[in-house]
Structure 1
Amino acid sequence: MTAVAAQRITSAEQARETAAALAAEFAVDAARRDRDRELPYREIDRLSASGLLAVTVPAEFGGADLAPGEVAEVVRLLAAADPNIAQIPHSHFVYLNLLRLAGTRDQREHHFGRVLAGARIANAQSERTGATVAEIATTLRPDGPPGDDAKFRIDGTKFYCTGSLFADVLAVLTRLDDPRESSGLSPGDYIAFLPADTAGVETVDDWDGIGQRTTGSGTVTLTGVRVRRDQLIARAAAVNAPTGYGAFAQLLHVAIDAGIARGALDAAADFVRTRSRPWFEAGVSRAADDPLLVQRIGELAVTVATAEATFEAAGRAVDRVVADPAAEPAAAASVAVATAKITADRAANEVSAALFEVSGTRSAAADLNLDRFWRNARTHTLHDPVRWKYQHIGRAVLDGAPPPLHGVI
């Protein structure tokens, strides 16, 4: 278990103040960590100790029970400083939400208690072998002696397991296709909550993406891993129902992209003010007084502000669904989040590339590592294609058709 003494956060205001303070701290060495691929173990321990990773724990279990929009704002603040660190707890919050929606009381009490004490959850979800990302080859099979259907076995390999190197618990997505009738489990998708040091689990630091280099997104291999029934949660109750589960998960991705866009804009403005030389035809002594450059900075600022505004609106929509699913259709929240995802995707990629356009040749120096903004934006925005967001939005407008229930919108 994580060897930290976690503080307790009790309000949204405290969460934002804590996130802002940590963001300022993490920003100092963010460029160096990214350049040298130095994994942020110390920083993640600081994040755990701050209490921010427990802010979604329901009040009845001793947590702050913050609304999704507030959690997403914490992530956005961290992402503006270091999007690697901001992405690491994404799955942590998503799977705490799964526990809230689909776990038994004993499961919730156990895992929420551990998280309040500083424990971290990471995903072991994606695979490379299927025809699409939705196919699951990792098997969950009954594996006990005759009459002992409380024991199961997991075998499979997972990739892009963000945060797995820092995790105390791995949330492993599995597929049960051949249950014994006496096991009491129906066929379908299950999440197994496994201690990271469970026998048969191997986590490898082999992530070599061009961006998000220090997210610990390596490979997890599971070979003959024994799991008890009380470690399993069926996904259907959360994913295949209008719970806002997918909208909340996507909102956190929006927060990361919006944070990258803001971080890139701030870096560009600072570089122009302090290091750039004006173009000789402008007839000014400071780059910041070049009217064409001022115009471009203004355009980029509007792009970022638009992304942040749609992000905030989406957060409010998800908040309403979580607070009262009967009063706010989950479909409306999903459409709002899809809209925010499109604007944040556009802002993160455009502004991080335009950083060089407005800053000039000096900004391309390798030691500055300013390309990390674009590399991080381009890598993170590959998670799910915005072209399908347009499809779901268009169908909602034309036919009133709700987005599909598959957990990623």
Structure 2
Amino acid sequence: MTVVTAERIATAGQAVRIAAELAEVFAAGAAERDFSRRLPHEELDQLSASGLLAITVPAEFGGADLPPSVVAEVVRILAAADPNIAQVPHSHFVYLNLLRLAGTRAQRRDYFGKVLAGARIANAQSERGGATVAEISTVLRLVDDASVGNGEREHVVPSQTDAGSAGIGARRFVVEGTKYYCTGSLFADVLAVLTRLDDPQGISGLKPGEYVAFVPALEPGVRIIDDWDALGQRTTGSGTVEFAGVVVGLEQLVSRTSAVNAPTGYGAFAQLLHAAIDAGIARGALEAAAEFVRTRSRPWFEAEVAHAADDPLVAQRFGELAVAVAAAESTLIVAGAAVDAAVRPGAVAAQAVAENAHSVASLEGDGAQASIAVATAKILADRAANEVSAAIFEVGGTRSAAAEHRLDHFWRNARTHTLHDPVRWKYQHIGRAVLHNRPPPLHGVI
């Protein structure tokens, strides 16, 4: 486990202040870390030690129970300094939310306790073999106790009689497969592995569907590969993870289906944090562009001014960019408030289904409203991050393109992170809500 002594954060103000302090430290080396691809192990230990990674732990388990809007602001502040570091805990917060919604009390006590002590959770979710990203081929296979001893990983499914006599609590499963784009896996203590259970006969005692297996990163059979080579977000540790006969118990499995296929705000929360990363990149790029123009750029001769910052056309462009960033930040605040209403402290998936069943077919429910608000914020943040990070060179002039200034990392990070889920589908869901009062789908990506 991560060897840190984590502080305890109690209030939103404290969380934002600590995030700002860390952001100042992280910003100093962000461009150079990106250029040399130096993984931020030390910086992530600082993040764990600060207590920020535990701010969503429910109060009953010793946490601050801070709402999604505060998490989004923390992520935005960190992303303005180093979006790589800001993206690493994205899955961490998403899977803590899954535990809150669908985990048993014992699971929540266990994993929330680990996080309060400084542990980090990373995702092992995406695959490449399916026709779309939504297809998951990593299947949970039931095994008997005799087949998992002495390093053997033989897949043996017990008979119906055996299953009935052994007791559900003794059930063990094996996970095998390969996952890609596993952000934060190189820094993780626990991997949240997305799997599928096909069990029509009910031998396992679980309902068929998608489950997240919480697997220790150092578990035998887990191989984390540092092969992430994207043009941006180069230090997020988003490599490949292989699982070869990894054995898990029921106590490690949490139903993703029950959280996603219900109006819980699960997807809206995850998307809110993605929007926060993009809004942070936009703000960081704007500040870097302004500093470069003030201190390094030469004015265009036709402007007849002594300093580039006094060129009226440059000032006009900065005004346009500033409006784009402000719009992204403002809609992020609105979206955060909407997700706060949808993700109520203490709520679990079953409660959300019961409370919102009447509104599933319309936009009445908080979850649907939150998804639409977040989709709006995501569109504007995507647009601002890409536009402002590219405009650095437009306003900075020829010398801004020199490699020594490392200004390209803003655009590369924006272009890479905004590929996560296409905003063209956000427009579709917003348009259908306006025209037909149709709520967005429940699939966890809006």
TM-score bucket (shorter structure) = over 0.9
Asked whether 1:30 is paired with 2:30, we answer yes
User: What is aligned with 2:384?
Assistant: 347
Q: Aligned equivalents of 1:408 and 1:151: distance in 2?
A: 30
CA contact (8 A) 1:179 1:185 kept: no
User: What is aligned with 2:150?
Assistant: none
User: What is aligned with 1:164?
Assistant: 185
Asked whether 1:392 is paired with 2:413, we answer no
Quote the offset at 1:180 in angstroms. 5.5
What is the percentage of aligned positions where both structures have the same residue? 72
- Partner residue of 1:206 out of 227, 234, 239: 227
**3-state SS, counterpart of residue 182 of structure 1:** coil
Query: Which consecutive residues of structure 1, in runs of 5 or more, have no partner in the other structure?
Result: none
Quote the offset at 1:310 in angstroms. 0.6
**3-state SS, counterpart of residue 278 of structure 1:** coil
1:108 corresponds to which letter in structure 2?
A: R
- Across the two proteins, how many residue pairs are aligned to each other? 409
Quote the offset at 1:152 in angstroms. 0.4
2:93 corresponds to which letter in structure 1?
A: F
Q: Quick check: 250-259 or 362-371, which moved more?
A: 362-371
Q: Aligned equivalents of 2:226 and 2:208: distance in 1?
A: 32
User: What is aligned with 1:378?
Assistant: 415
1:261 corresponds to which letter in structure 2?
A: A
Asked whether 1:185 is paired with 2:222, we answer no
User: What is aligned with 2:106?
Assistant: 106
User: What is aligned with 2:312?
Assistant: 291
User: What is aligned with 2:285?
Assistant: 264
Q: Aligned equivalents of 1:320 and 1:54: distance in 2?
A: 20
Q: Aligned equivalents of 1:22 and 1:72: distance in 2?
A: 16
CA contact (8 A) 2:56 2:67 kept: yes
CA contact (8 A) 1:69 1:312 kept: yes
CA contact (8 A) 2:338 2:366 kept: no
Q: Aligned equivalents of 1:250 and 1:90: distance in 2?
A: 10
Residue deviations 1:306-344 (CA, integer Å, cap 9, x gap) = 010011100000011123865952101000000000000
- Partner residue of 1:236 out of 249, 257, 275: 257
CA contact (8 A) 1:19 1:74 kept: yes
CA contact (8 A) 2:232 2:412 kept: yes
Residue deviations 1:162-198 (CA, integer Å, cap 9, x gap) = 0000000000000111366332112110000010011
Residue deviations 1:250-276 (CA, integer Å, cap 9, x gap) = 000000000000000000000011110
User: What is aligned with 2:359?
Assistant: none
CA contact (8 A) 1:142 1:180 kept: no
Q: Aligned equivalents of 1:79 and 1:162: distance in 2?
A: 15
Residue deviations 1:41-79 (CA, integer Å, cap 9, x gap) = 000000000000000000000000000000010000000
Q: Aligned equivalents of 2:237 and 2:383: distance in 1?
A: 25
- Partner residue of 2:440 out of 391, 403, 406: 403
- Per the normalisation by structure 1, the TM-score is 0.98
Q: Quick check: 135-144 or 41-50, which moved more?
A: 135-144
User: What is aligned with 2:17?
Assistant: 17
User: What is aligned with 1:61?
Assistant: 61
Q: Quick check: 225-234 or 177-186, which moved more?
A: 177-186
Runs of 4+ in 1 over 4 A off after TM superposition: 324-328
Query: Which consecutive residues of structure 2, in runs of 5 or more, have no partner in the other structure?
Result: 146-157, 357-364
- Per the normalisation by structure 2, the TM-score is 0.90
CA contact (8 A) 2:231 2:412 kept: yes
Asked whether 1:227 is paired with 2:264, we answer no
2:311 corresponds to which letter in structure 1?
A: D
**3-state SS, counterpart of residue 231 of structure 2:** coil
1:329 corresponds to which letter in structure 2?
A: D
2:370 corresponds to which letter in structure 1?
A: A
1:203 corresponds to which letter in structure 2?
A: I
User: What is aligned with 1:174?
Assistant: 195
Q: Aligned equivalents of 2:286 and 2:204: distance in 1?
A: 55
Q: Quick check: 318-327 or 102-111, which moved more?
A: 318-327
User: What is aligned with 2:342?
Assistant: 321
Residue deviations 1:201-225 (CA, integer Å, cap 9, x gap) = 1000000000000000000000111
CA contact (8 A) 1:102 1:234 kept: yes
Q: Aligned equivalents of 2:177 and 2:63: distance in 1?
A: 34
1:218 corresponds to which letter in structure 2?
A: G
